[in-house]
Amino acid sequence: MTVRLLTNIGRLWTGHEIFGNAAILVHNDRIAWVGRAADLPQSVPGVVDDIVDVDHVENLGGALVTPGLIDAHTHPVYAGNRYAELAMRSGGSSAAAIAAAGGGINSTITVTRGTDPWTLCNGVRERLRDWLLSGTTTVEAKTGFHLTRDGELASVRLLRDLEKDPMMPRVHVTFLAAHVVPPEYFGRQHDYVEAVAGWCTDAAAAGADSVDVYCHDGHFTPEDARWILAAGRNVGLTPRLHVGGTAVPRALQVAAEMQCAADLIHKVTDEDIEMMSRYGIPAVVCPATALQSGHLPPVRRMIAKGIPVALGSDHNPGHCGITSMSLVISLAVAAFGMSVGDALRAATLHAAQVLKLEDRGILAPNRLADIVQWDADHEGAFAWSFGLKPRRVWRGGVPVQ
């Protein structure tokens, strides 16, 4: 039985409340108590003796402490890079010109398929480690760059195995075989949709948590999405809908039917917002990708309509290499006009809600003790530093080295 007391916390942002001169009592990997240090209980049911005989006492020196951050949208399982393509795109090259030069998502598929498992694993391990060291304790991680049954299932197992390492973040594994139609299925999209729907049972058995479909022009139709998501839901996978750049009403209707979030939203009309509000559809927004696309979603209007908004980095080889959710928070404040409090909630509590993870995202009793001490004394620093650094990170109450 392990008990840890984190005390002398100058400013504690729990997700619901803010305390000065606060303390957190951790029992094993869960929070047993949180509040003002002056109110620290003399006894806690079940761990009374251990309050006195604590294993370790951390003096946090008055710094800001928050829940561990959660990245609600990433694509970390890939090999190689597309730097040349990014340079072409920044110079105004068209998608057709980039494809003709050997770029585009198919280039990542080719390189990932040709990379040995050990090299691929090491690359993913390094990326996940970067997330954790920057204060992100949970990462939603999609497959989607093999697009074969065996390759996609191997990606699921890879992510699940890496999570067992206590020096890795927790991982919410999303099965995204419906990313694009792979080259070998050219002209046979219906056959590929049918195949992916059939792979969902194996993905669940391999350890996937969710199933996702990229429902967007040039990818998959709402009808395709409905079929695959229903197949995944039938075997216990949580549906997700990768809407892409255009939140069309038909795609949002699928999200309403499946009771899932609309992921990676950029272009949102007033009618879309009304529909999301009416059906209770949460949104996942990714400021770095939105800035690249030139379409910034009206996040403040969405929040005003009661739509839960979560933040994601959209880390992927073709657009964004960010592995710092504190940077994403800064970008959300600057680009979307979010308040620091709303942006922090979008990267903690609301991200947990979107992923249906009820055991994290807030510092409260019985929640996971995923905690970050920041190099600042106030959350306003997120709006200033653009990539605020953590001083210490705890995953399940255990300090990350």
Strand partners of residue 140: 172
- Tell me how many degrees the CA angle 155-158-163 measures, rounded to the nearest 5: 130
3-class SS of residue 188: coil
> Where are the extended beta strands (E) located within 129-194?
136-142, 170-178
Q: Which residue type sits at 198?
A: G
Question: What's the CATH number for 3-67+361-399?
Answer: 2.30.40.10
Q: Which residue type sits at 59?
A: N
Q: Is pLDDT at 145 greater than 70 in this prediction?
A: yes
Alpha-carbon Rg for the chain, nearest whole angstrom, is 21
Say how far apart CA 358 and CA 364 lie, in whole Å: 11
Q: Is pLDDT at 103 greater than 90 in this prediction?
A: no
The 8-class DSSP code of residue 16 comes to S
What pLDDT is attached to residue 61? 58
Mean pLDDT lowest among 95-99, 223-227, 356-360: 95-99
pLDDT range class, residue 37, cuts 50, 70, 90: confident
pLDDT range class, residue 56, cuts 50, 70, 90: very low
Supply the mean pLDDT for the chain: 91
Mapping DSSP onto H, E and C, the string for 266-303 reads CECCHHHHHHHHHHCCCEEECHHHHHHHCCCCCHHHHH
Q: Is pLDDT at 193 greater than 90 in this prediction?
A: yes
275-313 confidence digits (pLDDT tens): 999 999 999 999 999 999 888 999 999 999 999 999 999
What pLDDT is attached to residue 46? 46
User: Following DSSP, what letter does each residue of 203-246 receive, concatenated?
Assistant: HHHHT--EEEEEBSTTSB-HHHHHHHHHHHHHTTPEEEEE-TTB
What are the structural domain ranges in the chain?
3-67+361-399, 69-79+115-354
What pLDDT is attached to residue 279? 93
Cα distances from 173 to residues 154, 155, 156, 162, 278, in angstroms, run: 12, 9, 7, 11, 29
Identical fold between 3-67+361-399 and 69-79+115-354: no
CB 88 within 8 A of CB 103: yes
Rounded to 10 deg, the angle between the 149-163 and 189-206 helix axes is 30
For residues 151 and 5, which has the higher predicted lDDT (pLDDT)? 151
Question: What tokens were used for 45?
Answer: 């049911």
323-332 confidence digits (pLDDT tens): 999 999 999 9
What pLDDT is attached to residue 155? 98
Question: What tokens were used for 57?
Answer: 């006492």
69-81 confidence digits (pLDDT tens): 999 999 999 999 9
For residues 103 and 316, which has the higher predicted lDDT (pLDDT)? 316
What is the pLDDT averaged over residues 335-345? 97
Report if pTM > 0.85: yes
Q: Is pLDDT at 245 greater than 60 in this prediction?
A: no
Q: Is pLDDT at 57 greater than 50 in this prediction?
A: no
The 8-class DSSP code of residue 74 comes to B
Residue with tokens 């305390």: 19
Q: Is pLDDT at 244 greater than 70 in this prediction?
A: no
3-class SS of residue 65: strand
User: Following DSSP, what letter does each residue of 149-198 receive, concatenated?
Assistant: HHHHHHHHHHHHHHHTSTTS-EEEEEEEEESS--GGGTT-HHHHHHHHHH
The torsion angles phi and psi of 226, rounded to 5 degrees, stand at -60, -40
Which fold would CATH assign to domain 69-79+115-354? Answer: TIM Barrel (3.20.20)
Contacts (Cβ under 8 Å, ≥6 apart) of 126: none
Q: Is pLDDT at 364 greater than 70 in this prediction?
A: yes
What is the pLDDT averaged over residues 14-39? 91
What pLDDT is attached to residue 302? 95
What is the pLDDT averaged over residues 364-391? 95
